[in-house]
A = this chain, B = another copy of it.
Amino acid sequence: MSYRLSDASEFLSSGATVHDYVSSLLARIEARDADVQGSVLAQARELDRVPLDKRGPLHGVPIGVKDIFLTKDMPTQHNSAIYENDAPAVDAALISLLRSAGALILGKTTTTEFAHGIHTDTRTPRTPGGSSSGSGAAVGDFQVPIALGTQTIGSIIRPASFNGVFGIKPTWGSISREGAKICSVNFDTMGFLARSVADLELLADVVGLEDDAKPITPFKLDGARFAVCKTHVWSQAGPGTVNALALGIKLLREHGASVEELDLPEEFASVTKSHLTVFQCDAKTTFMNEYIAAKDKLDPVLVGFVENQFTHRQHLEGLDNLAQLRPKIDLIASGYDAILTPSVVDEAPESLATTGNSIFCGMWTALHVPVVNVPGFVGDHGMPIGLSLVSARYTDRHLLRVAAAVAPVFEGGGWKPSV
């Protein structure tokens, strides 16, 4: 028998069992440890039980898997002494970094389904804001001092704002995303929620976030230059955010900073559309395997992503458009100490059926620049509202220094956290 896949399929469809076929292959392959042989023969028996009309196009086809892919029934060892006895018991890279620093992994905070559905079981009076819902609520409610979040559109900054805590979405790619479920390979960013900028800075030390130049310490507001960017979607801002931004500007000026209005060039109005197109195309690839394996168990929102009708051409136009805007926003941002911009359209909506609007967060996620949410303001219903500080890619440590100077000033906005 030849060993091409198509011949194997023919052999199997002519009546031979997968068990027969695999036994013949195992004879050719040098005998390895009994565990692997056992796993292979168990798979073969299970496949042989699949009714003929339910068999897939690769029924019984043996595949060799490069040992960097997780497989639920075999160790994943990466040919590395570090993973020699992997069971597979794997920590995400960020968990491993935190454990190396002595952190205690207290538990998993709830998220919307795969960080992108709507369903969440966090119990708060209003929506905690997806998808790092539980992380935001847990920090806001003083259950944990810090929590991990991820942001693809607004999933760190929005819950930080809704829960009245600090949050950082660092420069895209600056913290390893290894072991965190992928939504969009082009946008997903690992970050933190905490109760102070000092806590965020400690975390930045632990994960090795560094700028090219050491940031000026302490950063002084007196004489500092801010831009305020209302963005092309300013018309969506509700009264809480309109008031917060006006008050934030006033507070900064009272402390000696200059704040000038920044109108981004017209081409930046395309960011939101490019972002949402690329995100959905990325998500189609990401959730394809769950969709094929168990579509009925997927949130309809995610099913919609997989079934989106964007063309590859639209996907690439979005990708290439965002890529050419990134050096431009870096250049604009580097003319200021930071850009001040809304975190959210308003305080958390009352409905638990939504995670809230993320339009203001999304554009900065798409541009890969770092963002810090600084709480301090209050909406019409007494719920917290934060504002975002933004700077050029890979100036995260500088941005945290600016946030440390801004945070006590924004306390004048009236929001008081309480246990």
Contacts and interface: CB of A to CB of B under 8 A. Distances in A.
A312 B132 CA distance: 28
B115 A146 contact: no
B6 A196 contact: yes
A290 to B, nearest CB: 6
A102 B43 contact: no
A312 B211 contact: yes
Interface string A103-114: 111111111111
Interface string A15-31: 00010001001001100
Given A43-B105, A173-B285, A286-B176, A64 B134 contact: yes
Interface in A35-79: 36, 40, 43-44, 47, 50, 55-79
Given A69-B94, A97-B289, A107-B36, A63 B148 contact: yes
Most chain B CB neighbours (cut-off 10 Å) among A22, A47, A92, A120: A92
A175 interface: yes
A292 B80 CA distance: 15
A323 interface: yes
A408 interface: no
A289 B103 contact: no
A216 interface: no
B139 A64 contact: yes
B57 A93 contact: no
Nearest to A321: B327
Interface of A: 2-8, 18, 22, 25, 28-29, 32, 36, 40, 43-44, 47, 50, 55-82, 88-115, 117, 119-121, 131-132, 134-135, 138-139, 142-150, 173-182, 185-186, 194-196, 198-199, 202-203, 205-208, 211-212, 282, 285-286, 288-290, 292-294, 297-298, 311-313, 315-316, 320, 323-324, 326-327, 330, 393-394, 419
